[in-house]
Amino acid sequence: MSMTSDGQSTAGLTGKLRRELRSLGHHLNPVVMVGREGVRPQLIAQVDRELDAHELIKIRVLDAAPESRGETADAIARATGAALVQVLGRTALLFRPRPDDDADAP
């Protein structure tokens, strides 16, 4: 498993794919907000639904979150089986291909 410079897992994404995903995710708005309650089963279920619907999503980690932005993003990625593409500021970009679209990743 490769790691980014800030220690985050990239779950086997190639550099070229990571660049492409960052480009595609640039204009996305965060669809999930992590607040003072942190990573809970309800939050993981919501992220799962969003990944099933969109494959590539942004998550915003608010100042009130109990863990650091990197720890929070990594915990969500592990719990959902998603690749953590990037953590930039308080925003994390996650990618998980749909099971039926595995060969058609962007």
3-state secondary structure of 28: coil
What domains, with CATH codes, occur in the chain?
15-97 (3.30.110.60)
Residue 8, pLDDT score: 44
Q: How confident is the model at residue 6 (pLDDT cuts 50, 70, 90)?
A: very low
The pTM is what? 0.81
Is the pLDDT assigned to residue 24 strictly greater than 70? yes
The pLDDT tens digits of the residues spanning 32-88 come to 999 999 999 999 999 999 999 999 999 999 999 999 999 999 999 999 999 999 999
Q: What is the largest CA-CA distance in the chain?
A: 38
